[in-house]
Structure 1
Amino acid sequence: MDLITDLFSRHGLIAVAIAVLLHQLGAPLPSTPLLLLLGAESVSRDGFALQAFAAITGAAMVANLLWFWAGRRLGRRVLAALCRVSISPDSCVRQNEISFARRGALTLLIAKFVPGLSMLAPPLAGALGMTAGRFLTWNLLGSALWAAAGLAAGRVFHAQIDALLRELARLGSAAIALGVAVVAAYLAWRLWRRAVVRRELNGFERLEPADVAALQQQGCQIVFVDVRGGPPASRIPGARHLDLGALGDAALAGWPVEAEFITYCACPNDVSAARAAQWLKARGHQARVLRGGIDAWQQAGLALEAV
Structure 2
Amino acid sequence: MRSFITLIELHGLPLVFLCVLLEQGGLPLPAYPVLLVAAALSAATLGGPLQVLAVAAVAALLADLAWYLAGRRYGSRVLRTVCRLSLSPDSCVRQTQSLYTRWGAPSLSFAKFVPGFASLATALAGSTRTPLGSFLLFDGMGALLWAGVAVLLGVTFRNAIDEVVGVIADLGRWGTLLVLSLLAVYVLTRWWKRRLLLRELRMARIGVAELAALLAGPAPPLVLDVRPPEQQRSGRIPGAVPVDLDACDAPAGLAAGREVVIYCACPNEASAAVVARRLQRQGLARVRPLYGGIDAWIAAGQRLES
Q: Which TM-score tier does this pair reach, normalised by the shorter chain?
A: 0.7 to 0.9
Change (3 A) 1:109 1:220: same
Q: Which runs of structure 2 are paired with 1:78-89 in the superposition (5 Å)?
A: 78-89=78-89
Deviation at 1:43, TM superposition (A): 2.1
Structure 2: distance between partners of 1:52 and 1:186: 24
Matched, 1:136 2:133: no
Runs of 5+ unmatched residues, structure 2: none
Partner of 1:162: 162
Deviation at 1:95, TM superposition (A): 2.3
Deviation at 1:156, TM superposition (A): 0.7
Partner of 1:257: 254
Partner of 2:71: 71
Deviation at 1:267, TM superposition (A): 3.1
Partner of 2:14: 14
TM-score w.r.t. length of structure 2: 0.87
Q: Deviations over 1:126-169 (max 9, x none)?
A: 11221111111111111111121111111110011000011001
Counterpart amino acid of residue 120 in structure 1: L
Q: Deviations over 1:165-214 (max 9, x none)?
A: 11001112212223333443454454345435434532x33222211222
Partner of 2:214: 215
Q: Which runs of structure 2 are paired with 1:267-278 in the superposition (5 Å)?
A: 267-278=266-277
Deviation at 1:68, TM superposition (A): 0.9
What is the count of residue pairs matched by the alignment? Answer: 301
RMSD across aligned positions (CA): 2.6
Partner of 2:32: 32
Counterpart amino acid of residue 231 in structure 1: E
Deviation at 1:101, TM superposition (A): 3.1
Partner of 1:146: 146
Structure 2: distance between partners of 1:36 and 1:265: 39
Change (3 A) 1:42 1:197: closer
Q: Which runs of structure 2 are paired with 1:1-307 in the superposition (5 Å)?
A: 6-7=6-7, 10-11=10-11, 13-89=13-89, 92=92, 94-202=94-202, 204-229=203-228, 231-232=230-231, 233-244=234-245, 246-249=246-249, 252=251, 256-258=253-255, 259-285=258-284, 286-306=286-306
Counterpart amino acid of residue 50 in structure 2: L
Paired residues of 1:84 and 1:268 also in contact (CA < 8 A): no
Paired residues of 1:89 and 1:268 also in contact (CA < 8 A): no
Change (3 A) 1:9 1:43: closer
SS of residue matched to 1:207: coil
Structure 2: distance between partners of 1:216 and 1:248: 22
Paired residues of 2:88 and 2:193 also in contact (CA < 8 A): no
TM-score w.r.t. length of structure 1: 0.87
SS of residue matched to 1:214: helix
Paired residues of 1:235 and 1:304 also in contact (CA < 8 A): yes
Structure 2: distance between partners of 1:18 and 1:303: 47
Structure 2: distance between partners of 1:208 and 1:162: 58
